[in-house]
Structure 1
């Protein structure tokens, strides 16, 4: 089959796109990608060798834009739609897979206009605006939250399952704010690190690139022993104050700080509890790994979707939810106390919310749908 994968803007959309890409390639499909020149699309796919071709069109988000900004964004989307239609006519795909985000709009609308089967995967509990518009036109609409979804499990890379384990005690806590980091979570982690050390708990901290140097400096000022995975982002004077560590040799430090890590499955495997945003990909990867979490939704996420993602897990009794403005150290201590006697059960039940073969099941559903429509 010939497939166009489209969508992105943020890592939550793009990680799903990449998971589908690898599943499609394993089934012998020819895949191309249509995304945006802005956002994280290029970071994920510009050098992806599994793609036959890739296009990064000049688009930006339309939601929440006003006045001239709205008109400019709409104009860019219109121009990109014309280009996407040209690509679709030339490539002649069997179907278009959209993972949402503003990057998906040109190719997804193009598929509808050219009567090419459109498959949508919605990552969030609150359906995005674009996917809500396109849902009636989709041949298949996947969601991890809707009962109407033909497959409810979330598409996750197998490595997160292979690194999974049942937690029995909390010895390492992970703080992360997504690929770009989150200053509120960074500040919170720094504020509780000394008490966590006193309790015999090591900190893993994904700070984001923009805040990495400041976070390392703050930990040093707190008198904590700091390890980093990469010293090159630090000035020579600060390099002398930290240890360069590997994930399998961290016992000599109180805190492990990194701006971004491609080995997140290994980081998850080392940790016993997480404090993080509630983007869909992170949330379900944690579930697959059996890692309980306190979710602190990004307050400005479109349609407040991170809150509803976290609420879904909280209502099952498998995680904790705290709004950013209510994030105080007492919340963390309460979570750790509540989890102490049941962490093994929660860790086990989290893994039941996911399935390693979910992506294969979705591929089979797509193939049945496409062959029926042919």
Structure 2
């Protein structure tokens, strides 16, 4: 079997593609996978490190306004469709799967014109522009949220699978993870992360939160600031007189390579509301306080967070309303009410789809047959 995967620009599009590709390799004895991306996207670095082959096309995203650049982008897109057709004819795939990002547009469109089975995976409640356009051409659409179905015209193409997550998220052991991260097994653990680049508003609000909970006998805080924010936040701790070492319940990291271990020990998470982060939280049944990134395309993070809140798995705080007092009160409300925290955990677990990648892989196989 030969498969082309396309998804690029950000990790939110790339890692689902990698996870689906690995799931297909588990299901099929011989499975050759080729990724198509752009040299300017993160896929150029990530995909080879994951052991997959990648080829590149020259394509750019459209600006959300009338501009000369958009005229140039149209010409570039037409050329990228031709490039994609050339790669597809040479590779002869049995199916082409897209996971989002503007690079998917020409690749999936080219495959559709060549009458090759096609499928896209939409992670968010509000689909991106590329997937909205492609939905009219592809054969199947795998949804990360059932609520996304309202935004696609052809309901017969839709299947709810959940969002694919790394196997390590499921397999990480709580006991081993506590030891690896140097945490206290007798304290409730709160994980704070704004994603790989961090979230300035969350980081700033957390300074007084750390000050308030420093030395607590009940909770411990594992805060991932993001590389660019780390030095500034640690400096603010010094200014506020917070001695992390003396507190004994605060761990600050610029980046966490073993996030699956952190999720395995988390009793509560303070996160943005990116689709993959939520998929990993719910796979582990972690309740959360969500602060959606306000500048995400189509404000999709807020819609993701609303689903979590509506299902009883999260508390939603808008970025513009975020301050230390709100965070402290929200944390206390949950930590001092174990029954509510447990109910949120059950609700989170109910939303989770830890087998999403397997479901998507089986969809692909059925489509080929």
TM-score of Structure 1 vs Structure 2, range by shorter chain: 0.7 to 0.9
Between stretches 300-309 and 57-66, larger displacement belongs to 57-66
Cross-structure match for 1:62: 62
Q: Secondary structure at the match of 1:46?
A: helix
TM-score by length of 2: 0.86
Cross-structure match for 2:342: 344
* Equivalent residue for 2:48, pick from 46, 59, 72: 46
Alignment of 1:196-275 (within 5 A): 196-197=213-214, 199-200=216-217, 201-226=219-244, 253-275=248-270
Does 1:108 pair with 2:108?
yes
Cross-structure match for 2:152: none
CA–CA distance in structure 1, aligned partners of residues 55 and 205 of structure 2: 39
Alignment of 1:220-369 (within 5 A): 220-226=238-244, 253-339=248-334, 340=337, 341-369=339-367
CA–CA distance in structure 1, aligned partners of residues 324 and 125 of structure 2: 28
Q: Is the 8 A contact 1:178 1:277 kept in 2?
A: yes
Q: Is the 8 A contact 1:174 1:273 kept in 2?
A: yes
TM-superposed CA distance for 1:191, in Å, is 2.9
* Equivalent residue for 2:39, pick from 27, 37, 52: 37
Between stretches 214-223 and 98-107, larger displacement belongs to 214-223
Cα deviation 1:41-71 (Å, max 9, x = unaligned): 223213221x2x2023333321425412323
Q: Is the 8 A contact 1:151 1:358 kept in 2?
A: no
Distance 1:118 1:38, change over 3 A: same
Q: Secondary structure at the match of 1:181?
A: coil
Distance 1:164 1:99, change over 3 A: farther
Distance 1:155 1:20, change over 3 A: same
TM-superposed CA distance for 1:120, in Å, is 0.7
* Equivalent residue for 2:212, pick from 192, 195, 208: 195
Cross-structure match for 1:183: 200
Q: Which runs of 5+ in 1 are unaligned?
A: 228-250
TM-superposed CA distance for 1:198, in Å, is 5.1
Cα deviation 1:296-345 (Å, max 9, x = unaligned): 11111111111111111110111011110001223223322443232123
TM-superposed CA distance for 1:182, in Å, is 1.5
TM-superposed CA distance for 1:158, in Å, is 2.3
Q: Is the 8 A contact 1:98 1:120 kept in 2?
A: yes
Cα deviation 1:276-315 (Å, max 9, x = unaligned): 1111000110111222111111111111111111111110
TM-superposed CA distance for 1:360, in Å, is 1.6
Distance 1:145 1:131, change over 3 A: same
* Equivalent residue for 2:162, pick from 153, 156, 159: 153
TM-superposed CA distance for 1:170, in Å, is 6.8
Cross-structure match for 1:246: none
Cross-structure match for 2:177: none
TM-superposed CA distance for 1:171, in Å, is 2.6
Cross-structure match for 1:245: none
CA–CA distance in structure 1, aligned partners of residues 77 and 283 of structure 2: 36
TM-superposed CA distance for 1:214, in Å, is 1.5
TM-superposed CA distance for 1:215, in Å, is 1.9
CA–CA distance in structure 1, aligned partners of residues 358 and 234 of structure 2: 41
CA–CA distance in structure 2, aligned partners of residues 313 and 169 of structure 1: 28
TM-superposed CA distance for 1:184, in Å, is 1.2
The alignment covers a number of residue pairs equal to 345
Q: Is the 8 A contact 2:8 2:103 kept in 1?
A: yes
Cα deviation 1:218-238 (Å, max 9, x = unaligned): 2233333447xxxxxxxxxxx
Q: Which runs of 5+ in 2 are unaligned?
A: 150-154, 175-184
